Chain A
Amino acid sequence: MAIIELSGLTKSYRVYQKQEGLLASVRGLFRRQYRTVEAVRSIDLQVEQGEFVAFLGPNGAGKTTTLKLLSGVIAPTGGTAHVMGHIPWKRENAYRSRFALVMGQKNQLWWDLPAQESFRLHQQIYKIEPERFDRTRDELVDLLDVRRLLKQPVRELSLGERMKMELIAALLHSPEVLFLDEPTIGLDVIAQHNIQKFLRHYQQLRKITILLTSHYMKDVAALCRRVVIIAHGRIMYDGSLSGIIDRFSNHKVITFLFADDESLPNDLARFGEVMEEQAPKIKLRVERRKAPDVLAGILAKYAVEDVSVEDPPLEDVIAEMFALTGEQAANDRDAGAIAERMA
């Protein structure tokens, strides 16, 4: 049986609509206007034990709402969810001591105290045996290389160091399921890389199940074999990262380095869309099925020093896809049609 099972999970909530202007604000005191936002629309999803799944989607797509539902912070308006056999929003302690939620934008540690004090507190909250606590903490501290920072007040740590401490705090009770909401948000490249490396290692070591939301394609590419794309509260795609390119992009990017480094041939635009040109180099976007012909044509006609054929960057493909789904959702309010078309 799947460790996480969502079926028809739906969440809509009300948001207060504030009208512009003073008069409208006064009116709002007496009669408020609310708008119903359908954050998650009937999501079905199954995650097996040991999977590392990424949720991708534009802001407001429903990713975080889904994680909130799964961690029991909010209750759905419809549908069901089971995580390790528990219904999350019942908030049973038996469930809450088996998972962890890490939010990149929220701080769970005590601001004025060294991180090790927050760890002690977690030991008590999660009732971790002293020996196991020491062992787990030491292991995590060494993996993340933060031993020298344990005694420093959290407020004095850098964002990256703090994130490491957050992760340790979340993993002390050895959760079987981990929800990560934007764990690398705001971090520099090196810190991001360190967190990724740690998550990959830890996940392989412990075979825990992780659901991650992120805006950074690098996170996703580095960590997750399975990607779930959510837009407008629906699942648009569920599969491998490379599958996204196969399915949603029918283009290749071909780069030529010409032998003549003074000027470029001026008839290249007829082969495809010119993405970049800087003599003696040019980057063309070409329909996938035409790529062989374009290659043959240009190689036959000009002296070419180097050539490369690549898939378009994943970011571009996904951005394109979101733009497409956004337009269509605006056209017909029923996003269901799109979901069916794309899935």
Chain B
Amino acid sequence: MYARATTWWTILRICVEERLVYRGDFALGTLMRFLPFITQIFLWRAVFASRDEPDINGYTYNEMISYLLLTNISRAFSSMPGLSTSIAQLIRTGELKKYLAQPIDMIGFYLLMRVAHKLVYYIIAAAPFALVFYLCRGFFSGWPDPLTMAAFLTSLVLAFLLGYFLEATIGMVGFWFLEVSSLLFVYQLFSFFMSGQMFPLDILPEGMQKLVFALPLPYLAYFPVAVFLGKIQGAELVRGLLIEAGWVLFFIAASRFAFYHGLKRYSAFGG
């Protein structure tokens, strides 16, 4: 147990160092991330101004803006930039060999690498995030209670794991197709709308909601924010967290399955 912990710690430390090489790029990227948000504010202000009712399916203007702000936090956990493509690239270039010849589990190793990426990201992005949230504090109606906060954090950790195993599974498709970028593009397009990055999913018509909530995508952005805003509570909240955990388990299995069968195919084509 202790040995394993030191292994993880070393991998984590080295990944953090590697990421810090590009810290300048990061800091700038974080601020840029909020640029589209300004247009969203104007858009929703116009939408609300043109309506007679003060809310859209239960979202007031302030709630709408705080929802959109908070999706940035969900995405900071669940988005995995470059993960699928880097896995597909490992396969295509044959660099995968080193993970096969060394006593190391590639999926686990990449997970640790992502944890490190995220830690570095949070450290560097904390200041810009705090600044934006401070400037926008007027949209919020205060902090949630400790229990909701705990559920929110749990949903974020699960969102991270879901994002990782989902995108890792997509990357494994590289065993069958050399190029995964178009598949990834389609996924990202769907994910953009159906994860709730653009708008809260519960303002969708009933039928659409049924469809979207049957997918894992809402757990990447919508779900944690809805928890934070108190839109999901009690038994529904517990059920939501369990479903989210279920999706995580599903994609852990899917990525393992794809890796196992992918390696067989890799072998059949000479590696």
Contact = CB atoms under 8 A, between A and B. Distances in A.
B271 interface: yes
A107 B100 CA distance: 14
B103 A125 contact: yes
A71 B270 CA distance: 13
Given A15-B269, A120-B10, A125 B18 contact: no
Interface stretch (A45-53, A91-99, A137-145, A221-229): A91-99
Contacts of A15: 269-270
Given A101-B101, A125-B104, A126-B103, 14 more contacts: A13-B268, A39-B270, A68-B97, A73-B97, A73-B271, A74-B270, A97-B103, A108-B98, A110-B14, A113-B21, A117-B14, A124-B7, A125-B102, A153-B21
Contacts of B270: 11, 13, 15, 37, 39, 65, 74
B17 interface: yes
B95 interface: yes
Given A112-B18, A124-B10, A96 B101 contact: yes
13 contacts: A14-B269, A15-B269, A37-B270, A73-B97, A73-B101, A74-B271, A75-B264, A75-B267, A106-B97, A107-B95, A118-B14, A121-B14, A124-B6
Interface of B: 3, 6-7, 10-11, 14, 17-18, 21, 94-95, 97-98, 100-104, 264, 266-271
Nearest to A108: B98
Contacts of B97: 68, 71, 73, 101, 103, 106
Contact of A73 (B100, B103, B264): B100
- Main secondary structure on A side of the interface with B: mixed
Interface string A1-36: 000000000010111000000000000000000000
Q: Which 5 A-B pairs have the closest CB atoms?
A: A13-B270, A93-B103, A96-B103, A74-B267, A124-B7
A74 B269 CA distance: 9
A42 interface: no
A127 interface: yes
A112 B21 contact: yes
A72 interface: yes
B118 to A, nearest CB: 18
B3 A127 contact: yes
A273 to B, nearest CB: 41
A123 interface: yes
A113 B271 contact: no
Contact of A124 (B11, B95, B267, B268): B11
B187 to A, nearest CB: 21
Nearest to B94: A106
B103 A113 contact: no
